[in-house]
Amino acid sequence: MMETTHERTFIPVGIAVLTVSDTRTSADDKSGDTLVARISDAGHRLEARAIVPDDKAAIFAQVRTWTLDPTIDVVITTGGTGFTGRDVTPEALEPLFEKRMDGFSEVFHRISYDKIGTSTIQSRATGGVANATFIFVLPGSPGACRDAWDSILKQQLDYRHKPCNFVEIMPRLAEHLKRG
């Protein structure tokens, strides 16, 4: 049974938000704004925010840079997960993943199915870990960002969430790098 316990103290994590779009600007980035508001409301730190075009090299470079920043524990991207020619976010980031998080995609699609039905198959939302940083690749709609945050990420990024959460395993994400 899932629960949030107050036996543990909340631990804020550093999060970066990347909007992938050829058309969005900081003035009209509703999906990025949705994530930023939820991150702040939950008590986490917004460490960085950017908008890059639908370009594999630009997406990869920005996210890789953030995974090397010790203040950033989580990167959340929004946009570029569909099937059109310009949708390249999964292709840009999956090569960066040291470990894929198939369960994130599966749970996201289950939640999305309850809201938008079979249209959820038009998203290639994914997640993984790179350089001891969690990466979540979300569709570019505010609704998808709300669903992912409210139903998955908010709980998993809360140290008080039981039976387990991402925050409690963060110190061990880089164990493989120490093995030599």
| pTM of structure | 0.95
Is there a domain that residue 113 lies in? yes
Is there a domain that residue 15 lies in? yes
pLDDT digits (tens, 9 = 90+) for 101-147: 999 999 999 999 999 999 999 999 999 999 999 999 999 999 999 99
Is there a domain that residue 109 lies in? yes
85-89, 98-102, 173-177: which has the minimum mean pLDDT? Answer: 173-177
pLDDT for the residue numbered 2? 67
Is there a domain that residue 3 lies in? no
End-to-end Cα spacing for the chain: 38
Taking CA atoms, 54 is separated from 51, 86, 167, in Å, by 10, 6, 30
pLDDT for the residue numbered 6? 72
Kindly report the CATH number assigned to the domain that includes residue 120.
Answer: 3.40.980.10
Q: Which domain holds residue 71?
A: 10-171
